[in-house]
Amino acid sequence: MSGYLGAQCDDFFVSCRLYLRLDVALERETVLHFFDRMRKEYPSLTKLRRREGGGLVLEEDSGEGQGRRWIRLDPGSLRFGMYTPQTLEEVRRFAELVLTQAPYYLTFSEIDFDHLEVVYGFDLAYRGNHDQLVAETLFAGQTPAAFLGCAQAVHIIEAQPYFGIALNPACDLQAYVEVKSRTSTYEVQSETYETQPITVYLTIRKYWSAGAEHKLEEVLNTLFDLADELATDSVVPVFVNPLAAAIANRL
């Protein structure tokens, strides 16, 4: 599945995010024990760095190539993922290890969980006006085109659609699609563009309910299953493929 998804774009990546209601004390001994446990399974996790705001990142060296893993600890969240995985199975194995070990080493429990997310990202490199490309590809002939293509419009400088749906009646299981452009108004004005990615994000989110009986890894697998299904049935054919074709036609 990952090979199929990755074949539609220049880069494909997966991230998981567990947001907490209470801050985690990122004490030296606690963090090192957790990271050492991860390194026993994945010895190539050797690069440790500090982020602004007190966050810590453990990652594989950028020279490792495809399937580069990373883990990020912030006071209010645990994030981890892989860049350019070869298969989604290897992402799942890594994610399950993190979520089964993190509560033990970092001492948080389900009463502390706010929500869990699985994010699929599709990067499409393009040198040009990202917003113009997105508008012409996704909104041509649609109602927004009456504004985006009106006689007064000289350039399109903002076209980043964001959609969200509830996947159950309680609305605590959700899916979002966002198209992120990266063209600045200076680039449009000067007509000097750098090659940057247009990113299509698919986010599957589950809010934690009081007294929930499901384990983290069970919820995680549900989110992965939904992400696979929605990516294959909707996101890739409706968003990724048309944008990739539009970029190819402009080369």
State the average pLDDT over residues 40-68. 86
**DSSP label of 141:** T
Q: Which tens digit of pLDDT belongs to each residue from 27-51?
A: 899 999 999 999 999 999 999 999 8
pLDDT at 75 over 60: yes
What value does the mean pLDDT take over residues 182-198?
95
The string of DSSP letters for 38-91 reads HHHH-TTEEEEEEPTTS-EEEEE-GGG-SSEEEEEEETTEEEEEEES-S-HHHH
Confidence band, pLDDT 50/70/90 cuts, at residue 66: low
| Structural contact between residues 42 and 94, judged by C-beta atoms closer than 8 angstroms | yes
pLDDT tier for residue 5 given thresholds of 50, 70 and 90 = confident
Over residues 87-96, mean pLDDT: 94
At the topology level, CATH places domain 2-250 in Double Stranded RNA Binding Domain (3.30.160)
Residue 30: half-sphere exposure toward Cβ, Cα within 13 Å: 13
pTM of the model: 0.94
Q: What does the pLDDT read at residue 52? A: 82
- Alpha-carbon gap, residue 130 to 123, rounded angstroms: 12
Q: Residue 200 pairs with which residues in a beta bridge?
A: 122, 179
Q: Using CA atoms of 168, 170, 172, 178 in order, give the dihedral in degrees to the nearest 10.
A: 50
The pLDDT value recorded for residue 1 is 41
Could you state, in order of their start, the residue ranges of all structural domains in the chain?
A: 2-250
Q: What is the pLDDT of residue 221?
A: 95
What pLDDT does residue 163 have? 97
Per-residue pLDDT tens digits for 97-119 = 999 999 999 988 888 999 999 99
- 2 has a pLDDT exceeding 60: no
Residue 152 pLDDT more than 70? yes
Contact in structure between 201 and 15 (CB atoms under 8 Å): no
